[in-house]
Amino acid sequence: MRFPLSVLALGLSALSVFAAPPEPGRDWPGFRGIRGAGSSPANGPVEWNVAENKGVSWKVAVPGLAHASPIVWGDRVCVATAVGQKPADLKVGLYGDIAPVADEGVQEYRVLCFDRKTGKPLWEQLARKAVPAIKRHTKATHANATPATDGKVLVVMLGSEGLHAFDFATGKPLWSKDLGVLDSGFFMVPDAQWGFGSSPVIEQGVVYVLADVQKGSFLAAFDAQSGKELWRTPRADVPTWGSPTPYEHGGALRLAVNGFRHAGGYDAKTGAEVWKLKAGGDIPIPTPQVANDLIFLTSSHGGPRPIYAIKTSAVGDISLAAGSTSNDHIAWSVERDGAYMPTPVVVGETLFVLRDNGTIAAFDAKSGEKLFLERLGEGNSGFTSSPVVAGDRLYLTSEEGETHVVRAARTFERLGKGLIGETVLASPAVSEGTLYFRTRGHLVAIR
């Protein structure tokens, strides 16, 4: 194949744009799938029981501790994990402790890939071996961030332990970037180190990384093939744990990011700020969702629990005036109906918001009208895993590994329940109607 001189002059960064785009319904290339939407078209299962081997396609052991979600591309599924020298404790449930876990010694940060249909191991690679520079929360891990791939390159973000890239086919290491100490913790109590959580995104041959930390927050772009830093934009925000969400407006690719002092939109080519918003909750965790020409943000803690529906055409400072719920750039907002941990999901013209206490709310995505609010369990289980959709079915998984299956509709309808039998805090991946769960100790495919 011959390329124009203008393309050859750009080198590998230009060639990387020829990577095939993800295939909807089959590929799930990063946190919450394609552009973080959390949705796949084929219907998934309604009931299963892993302990009784009902509905299980395969199950393989995965060492270590991680909340990094599985990713899927083609016929393989991959996960990241952190393996310590001794068993790692994990405290789940609804509680408010902020102290980090004491020194845990050396961790081996690994990436593992399996055959999507059989669970057969394909390759395993060590990304880094080190004593973590930053401690983790008692409910977190040293491998919280979900990997990302474009089918050629797989990247994993390990916070203070660096950004690492591998050949997706073979696992061969390609490049690594030391981004310095990235301390994500409660900004009001600096000693409360909680661990890094923002997942990388690969879009059109570029890796995007959000690092909102105690000092020196930034959003940055790297060439996926070479690791070359393309741009870095400072951010005036406290630690956050959401991931960037690519979206398009007027033919331009942009990135939406959540925040407390500085939620915003950025030009993906240059890193220039397009819009900004002083949000609400002071521990922003959910990743932005984009649908129907709207960007949905939610956050919680410290009083406010807002939801914002921001127009993709937004520019400038779009912060609301006192007492207002909308303006030229914000279609609607509510003050106290948002989520703390899980990322919402949009199906058609309905926004579903799962709270960590196990209640699910539905809103009209265009108007903000609340359609229903229902409790899933008994009220004593935490929900950290983000909801996903397979066809017309919404999957909501508790930390105890109980998945509630409800209709993804404007009225509440229970369809079934899946029992995993292990702790689950990672969000599942979906491919061709199969759910892939990263549990406390396994990767499980539910058909």
pLDDT at 379: 82
- Quote the CA–CA distance of 202 and 361 in Å, as a whole number: 31
DSSP string, 325-364: S--SSEEEEESB---SSS--EEETTEEEEE-TTSEEEEEE
Q: How remote is the C-alpha of 364 from its chain's centroid?
A: 23
Q: Is the pLDDT of residue 2 over 50?
A: no
What CATH number belongs to 5-446? 2.130.10.10
Average pLDDT score over residue span 267-294: 95
For the chain, give the mean pLDDT. 94
Per-residue pLDDT at 251 exceeds 60: yes
Question: Model pTM?
Answer: 0.94
CA distance 95 to 411: 31
What is the tens place of the pLDDT at every residue in 362-419? 999 999 999 999 999 888 899 999 999 999 999 999 999 999 999 999 999 999 999 9
Q: What is the pLDDT of residue 8?
A: 33
What DSSP line would sit under 187-234, residue for residue? Answer: TTSTT-B----PPPEEETTEEEEEE--SSS-EEEEEETTT--EEEEEE
Query: How does residue 18 score in pLDDT terms, banded at 50, 70 and 90?
Result: low
Residue 388 β-bridge partners: 395
User: What pLDDT, in 10s, does the model give residues 185-237?
Assistant: 989 898 899 999 999 999 999 999 999 999 999 999 999 999 999 999 999 99
377 or 142, greater pLDDT: 142
Quick one: pLDDT at residue 279? 76
| The pLDDT value given to residue 1 | 31
pLDDT of amino acid 158: 98
